[in-house]
Chain A
Amino acid sequence: MWALPKQLRSRGIIGMNRRNIRYIGRYNDRRLYPLVDDKLKTKLLAERHGITTPALIGTVTTQFGVKHIREMLDGHGGFVIKPAKGSGGKGILVIERVEEGRYIKPSGTALSLDDLERHASNILSGLYSLGGSPDVAVIEALINFDPYLSAYTYEGVPDIRVIVFRGYPVMAMMRLSTAASDGKANLHQGAVGVGLDIASGRALRGVQFDRTREDHPDTGHELASLAIPDWRTLLVLAAGCYEMTGLGYLGTDMVLDRDRGPMLLELNARPGLAIQMANGEGLRARLDLIERQPDGASVEARVAFAQQHFARRGELQPAGEPAPLAGVAASA
């Protein structure tokens, strides 16, 4: 039931207090927080730095503008409405497709235009933002996620969280939404976290609700065969967010688009610690190693360094035959 502090320390597990003081407090300049706390700002900044992000359909900034949502959405299939300053996935509404003026969520629930307008209005009045301050609703095109991954997820878009420390990608996991998480990729809501090998992008280990899992709870697909295509590009993209924001301890949320490859979804200046559970390994040793590295390495060099030093073998047993590597060309 309870672990001893000694056991956790020997595995290099980082607690909330240490993360806050030792890493976030020391490496993340509070001045830079607005860059990541406001998703709209992040998006525009990413575009300037040549980092791909989902296409922006439009923004709603006034209650008056809420009435024009329909015109804005005309001609778009799936889309996502989210608060620019939301946190923890709050207030993100995913519409998969539009049918006869009805907006269908991934779960199949149909919403009316009124529901959409109410949601946007709630976002503007600050319902989902930190401290209840007035906010802006951002509408993005839905990601056409890589069909290779669809067997691993239930509704929703699986995303990949990479912790970037001083520009080095130190740990990664994939978050697979489940029925329990209502299509959202948040671990505390019941999404499955799959630790990924930094060297290859292959699955190391899976957890749901902090307990180990070998397969996806809804699709029943085993997790061992999971390997992220285009892994190196994704790492380079994630590592580049250090130069883009200046934040030393950063959580980057990436998605894989069928056509455009890895894309940056959002950034987090206070990334959670569940990634340690998904990887079955503490962050401490890796962060200590990175702290000893000198400043000024290029993005490419940093990714290479991480891939060399953080390589690991998976703990999951492939079911029967070797993992299908067909779609995993670019992992090495």
Chain B
Amino acid sequence: MSRKPFYLIVGLLMALGIGLSVHRHVQFEVPWTPGEQRQVWEVEAVVDFTALGDPVKVDLALPTHQRGYRILTENTASPGYGLSFLQDERGRRAQWSTRDAAGSQQLYYSVRLLVTDNDRQQDVPLPPLRDSTWESPYDTAAAQVIERAWARSADPYTFARELIRDFTEERQGENARLLLTQFERTPLLVRLLNQAGVRAREVSGLLLEDGRRRQSLTSWIQVFQDEQTWDLFHPVSGEQGRPDNLLLWETGGRAVLEVLGGTNSRVSFSMITHNQPASAAVRNELADDTLLNFSIHSLPLEEQAIFQTILLIPIGALVVVLLRVLVGVKTSGTFMPVLIALAFIQTTLPTGLIGFLLVVSVGLVIRNYLSYLNLLLVARVSAVIITVIAIISIFSVLSYRVGLNAGLTITFFPMIILAWTIERMSILWEEEGPKEVLIQGSGSLLTAVLAYLAMNNPWIRHITFNFLGVQLILMALILLLGNYTGYRLLELRRFKPVTED
């Protein structure tokens, strides 16, 4: 009998689980530990304009995922306006529209951004080379400026640097001064770069500084070395490189804000930053509906909370398998300890332990009396269920009266499971005596406590909730344990006498 298919399945599950987890870690920057702090920026853009009483259409460029920043969530506030998000290869835009609006209008857009250390350059479409004709005398001026910078440069970057430097205050030649009287600096520079055969465009970015209000976007020149690589140049200082706190807002070469049906339009930005636990930051992440991003986080919050618990059950099961297969602990009911451990999570451990012992011991006494009544099994267990409910109610009320609010959490115990536990223990007591009850009872409690400690561990909670691939790894581990033919720990003690002669 070949075990090959078995190991193949285990290997596949393992590889798939690890792969999915690593993918999620790398692609979505979900951290391995819950304690990691991540910086989050909240940026708010306010669009102000005066509406003329006609239909209004407002078009605002929006940021996208980019090097160093990842969009978590975005919100808008714009009562009375229809809103749609548009996306093409040149970027994302929000479009507000309304049939009639008059007077001062304000539209809000806010975005939460996660600061990441992902330094992959995002792909942006290459800007077209625009041919432009200059009027005299600007044509000669432009040609001379280009020629001068060209002679002192070696490649697009150095050319851009030299060109911008020629337009800075102290080195401004006559040609530059002449051109600046007629054209705006940034579009002019882009136009000159294009003329020299260098692909470039104007982009707008926001310099993030904590607590700043009423900021506006700054212009930058994006110069392409080749199709993939580009860099930013400051249009005034000629400095090359992108500052770490620069959030690129518009990179498609279009206007940041376009307002139809309004005047005096402007957009201003305010921003704050704060640190928050990475797990919380991740939880708020926008869900992209792809198969690989199959994530519990795309569910509504309430369902997420339920899944947080459900995804812990395999951990409890693993603990049970470990204790039974490797140690040989006897429990009353195979997975009863897992359910008790789930209840412990709600009640906290000391309250849970006291509550469990109280309910089971009082239940055993009452069950002992029930056995004299000679009832049919199902009726008797039902009677025990009602007894358990009664015990739980009495304890809740008593502890509340005494002022112990912790006692109220006793209601989280799975009552039907408790009833069956009492029934089984009671039969065990009659048939095998109190010793066996003690062994199985403490075995169950030990398993429950260990399962609780595992399931309540912040790191394990984080890992199981954020990495679904872990479930596959758990599956593989449990399959492997199911194939273990070695001795159990307690068997080493049990069979000890055989080795003594």
- Pair A2/B497 contact, Cβ less than 8 Å: no
- Pair B431/A276 contact, Cβ less than 8 Å: no
Interface centre among B328, B377, B491, B498 (most CB of A within 10 A): B498
- Pair B486/A17 contact, Cβ less than 8 Å: yes
- Pair A17/B427 contact, Cβ less than 8 Å: no
**For chain A residues 45-64, which have a beta carbon within 8 Å of chain B?**
63
**For chain A residues 1-60, which have a beta carbon within 8 Å of chain B?**
1-5, 7-8, 11, 13, 15-18, 21-22, 26
Q: Which of the residues A5, A11, A26, A188 comes within 8 Å of B486, measured between beta carbons?
A: A5
**For chain B residues 237-280, which have a beta carbon within 8 Å of chain A?**
none
Q: Closest residue of chain A to B325, judged by CB?
A: A17
Give the docked Cα–Cα distance between A265 and B374 (Å): 29
Let me know if B120 is at the binding interface, CB within 8 A. Answer: no
A3-B495, A8-B495, A210-B494 known; A280 and B486 CB under 8 Å?
Answer: no
**For chain A residues 278-332, which have a beta carbon within 8 Å of chain B?**
280-282, 315
Give the docked Cα–Cα distance between A1 and B378 (Å): 43
Q: Closest residue of chain A to B485, judged by CB?
A: A18
A2-B496, A121-B376 known; A280 and B501 CB under 8 Å?
Answer: yes
Let me know if A76 is at the binding interface, CB within 8 A. Answer: no
Q: Which of the residues B427, B491, B496 comes within 8 Å of A15, measured between beta carbons?
A: B491
Let me know if A263 is at the binding interface, CB within 8 A. Answer: no
Let me know if B488 is at the binding interface, CB within 8 A. Answer: yes
Report the count of interface residues on B (CB-CB < 8 A).
26
Give the docked Cα–Cα distance between A3 and B498 (Å): 9
Let me know if A254 is at the binding interface, CB within 8 A. Answer: no
A16-B491, A127-B427 known; A7 and B499 CB under 8 Å?
Answer: yes
Q: Chain B 347-391, CB within 8 Å of chain A: the 1/0 string?
A: 000000000000000000000000000101110000000000000
- Is the interface on chain A under 10, 10 to 19, 20 to 34, or 35 or more residues? 35 or more
Chain A residues within an 8 Å CB radius of B487: 5, 8, 13, 15, 17
**For chain B residues 301-336, which have a beta carbon within 8 Å of chain A?**
325, 328
Give the docked Cα–Cα distance between A90 and B374 (Å): 18
- Pair B492/A3 contact, Cβ less than 8 Å: yes
**For chain B residues 463-501, which have a beta carbon within 8 Å of chain A?**
483-488, 491-499, 501
Give the docked Cα–Cα distance between A276 and B487 (Å): 14
Give the docked Cα–Cα distance between A315 and B498 (Å): 13
- Pair A21/B493 contact, Cβ less than 8 Å: no
Q: Which of the residues A1, A4, A90 comes within 8 Å of B431, measured between beta carbons?
A: A90
Let me know if B1 is at the binding interface, CB within 8 A. Answer: yes
Q: Chain A 251-290, CB within 8 Å of chain B: the 1/0 string?
A: 0000000000000000000000000110011100000000
- Pair B485/A15 contact, Cβ less than 8 Å: yes
- Pair B492/A5 contact, Cβ less than 8 Å: yes
Give the docked Cα–Cα distance between A22 and B431 (Å): 31
Let me know if B74 is at the binding interface, CB within 8 A. Answer: no
19 pairs of residues in contact across A and B, judged by CB atoms under 8 Å = A1-B493, A1-B496, A2-B496, A3-B498, A3-B499, A4-B492, A8-B491, A15-B485, A17-B485, A18-B485, A122-B377, A126-B377, A189-B432, A211-B497, A212-B497, A276-B498, A280-B498, A280-B501, A281-B498
User: What would 6 more interface pairs be, CB under 8 Å, given A1-B493, A11-B499, A15-B485?
Assistant: A3-B498, A7-B499, A8-B495, A13-B495, A16-B328, A126-B377
